[in-house]
């Protein structure tokens, strides 16, 4: 158990819908990272937060947004969903930046 909690584990929705993925980092970790992994693909970096502030942005679509709350949990919002958004979404946390990451077990999103 990495100590990083992601909910829900599975999500099935329809095109055009909006969903929210949630991540609770390990106790004491200030950084949260979001990644997207499509079938048999590597991890695409989406966005990183440190202590509530956005620190780095990757290949995140404009339809996607995220935030980190004062209690350090984070949410990834995906809107106007398309079939191609179907993927495994991972959250990871670390104490600071440029350090060892601890990954959650992921949210499997299926857009039908």
Partner 1 sequence: SQQGEEDPQALSIQEGENATMNCSYKTSINNLQWYRQNSGRGLVHLILIRSNEREKHSGRLRVTLDTSKKSSSLLITASRAADTASYFCATGVNDMRFGAGTRLTVKP
Residue 15 or 110 with smaller CB distance to partner 1 = 110
Q: What is the chain's Cα-based Rg?
A: 13
Residue 46 CB, shortest distance to partner 1, in Å, is 10
CB 49 within 8 A of CB 66: yes
Q: Which residue has the tokens 């398309």?
A: 82
Q: Is 42 in the site for partner 1 (CB under 8 A)?
A: yes
Residue 28, number of CB atoms within 10 A of its CB: 9
Q: Measuring CA to CA, how many Å separate 94 from each of 14, 32, 72?
A: 33, 7, 12
Q: Which residue has the tokens 């979001």?
A: 34
* Among 19-27, 39-47, 66-74, 79-87, the segment contacting partner 1 (CB under 8 A): 39-47
- Interface residue with partner 1, options 5, 22, 58, 73 (CB under 8 A): 58
Residue 16 or 65 with smaller CB distance to partner 1 = 65
| Token pair recorded at residue 37 | 């992994």
Which parts of this chain interact with partner 1 (CB under 8 A)? 2, 4, 33, 35, 41-43, 45, 48, 50, 55-59, 88, 90, 92, 97-106, 108
């Amino acid at each position: 158990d990495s100590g990083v909690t992601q909910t829900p584990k599975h999500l099935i929705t329809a095109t055009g819908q909006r969903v929210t993925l949630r991540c609770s980092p390990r106790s004491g970790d200030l950084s949260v990272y979001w990644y997207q992994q499509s079938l048999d693909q590597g991890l695409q970096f989406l966005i990183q937060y440190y202590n509530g502030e956005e620190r780095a942005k990757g290949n995140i679509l404009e339809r996607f947004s995220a935030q980190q709350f004062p209690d350090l949990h984070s949410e990834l919002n995906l809107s106007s969903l398309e079939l191609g958004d179907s993927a495994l979404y991972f959250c990871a946390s670390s104490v600071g930046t440029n350090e060892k990451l601890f990954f959650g077990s992921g949210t499997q999103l299926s857009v039908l």
